[in-house]
Amino acid sequence: MRSFTVLKDATRAVLVDRPVPAPGPGEIRVDIRACGLNFADLLMQKGTYQDTPAAPFTLGLEVAGIVNSVGPRVDGFAVGDRIAVYSGQGGLAEQGVFSAGRAVKLPDAMSFEHAAAFLIAYGTGHMALDHRARLQPGETLLVTGAAGGVGLTAVEIGKLMGARVIAHARGADKLEIARHAGADILIDASEDLRARLLELGGVDVVYDAIGGEVFKAAFRATNPEGRLLPIGFAGGDVPQIPANHLLVKNLTVIGFYIGGYLNFRPEVMRRSFETLFQWYQDGKLKPHVSHVLPLDRVEEGMELLRSRASTGKVVITP
């Protein structure tokens, strides 16, 4: 089978032929129909992601496909099941072997492309805003990078949770996508973010995927008792948070990494996915996939993420 693999002692991935593995105890083997790309894939290529496996390994954190083999001691899955897996690695391949504990069955109406764009982006948005930040109806939510993979889903979810949603993104086209997802107020990245937020009465919850100066501006416009979620650092700079300002305004900065819940509180993730799948079936969530590319064009997909030229998700279809 073909896979997009980071070779030993390398900092880039290449398409290689690898043997098809057999599933072990607690594992399922999957014919992969779609794999969602994430910014973490870029970091893994460079070896800078907090959860980078030892090389050689195949990139691809989330996949959707059909079970073609079931290993010993697996309950709840059978050959032919349509599933999605928060795999952590191994998704950019024609087949993969994954822990059954990381797999979920798909609603009948969900396409493989939507499924591969769903778990990480929507799971991150929902768990961060609901479980961690405790976003309340009527509060004001700022989403930065609001047309990207995790940002756009946070706009949708924040609106469903009853918040007034402010979307921050670069350019009219990206802001229009955020508006279509439910944003109430749009702020272009060329504007003075802090000044605009203060004009609007400040914000209660910040969901920031950019970092750097954007986070600093949002931090200074957060209302007393506000909560800030530094979700990612697509702008390249990790912000340093002045603790004295936290004290003065009684602010809370909340760490969140969805992958951690696989190990210490998987039930939180399962409950979140149940809620999200129900919202999808009810037509309340509409995944935005800007590009669908075959496996031999995965480098093109990576560059779309690197240059921030995509909106929503980029999906590879092995």
The model's pLDDT over 183-235, given as tens digits with 9 standing for 90+, comes to 999 999 999 999 999 999 999 999 999 999 999 999 999 999 999 999 988 88
Mean pLDDT, the chain, rounded, equals 94
Position 28 confidence tier, pLDDT thresholds 50, 70, 90: very high
Mean pLDDT over 250-260 rounds to 94
Token readout for 96 is 């993969």
Q: Answer yes or no: are the C-beta atoms of 297 and 37 closer than 8 Å.
A: no
The DSSP 8-state label assigned to residue 303 in this structure reads: H
Residue appearing with tokens 């809620």: 275
What's the rounded Cα separation, in Å, for the pair 9 and 164? Answer: 48
Q: Among residues 40, 44, 52, 41, which one has the least CA distance to residue 298?
A: 41
Q: Where in the chain is the domain with CATH 3.40.50.720?
A: 121-259
Confidence of residue 47 (pLDDT cuts 50, 70, 90): confident
Give residue 50's pLDDT. Answer: 81
pLDDT number for residue 7 = 86
- How is residue 299 written in tokens? 């480098």
* Residue 227 dihedral angles phi and psi, to the nearest 5°: -125, 135
The 3-state DSSP class for residue 92 equals coil
Assigned superfamily of 2-118+287-317? Medium-chain alcohol dehydrogenases, catalytic domain (3.90.180.10)
Which pLDDT score, from 0 to 100, does residue 48 have?
Answer: 83
Range of lowest pLDDT (21-35, 113-127, 134-148, 228-242): 228-242
Q: Which has the closest alpha carbon to 35: 276, 311, 233, 302? A: 302
Portion of the chain with pLDDT greater than 70, in percent: 99
- pLDDT at site 10: 67
In 3D space, the residue among 257, 285, 13 whose CA is nearest the CA of residue 159 turns out to be 285
Tokens found for residue 286: 């509409």
9 φ, ψ to 5°?
60, 25
Average pLDDT rounded to a whole number, residues 266-287: 93
pLDDT over 80 (residue 318): yes
Alpha helices in the chain (DSSP H): 39-46, 112-116, 119-126, 149-160, 172-180, 193-199, 212-220, 243-249, 261-264, 266-281, 298-306
Higher pLDDT, 236 or 175: 175
Q: Which fold has domain 121-259?
A: Rossmann fold (3.40.50)
DSSP state of 61: S
All CATH 3.90.180.10 domain ranges of the chain, comma separated, are 2-118+287-317
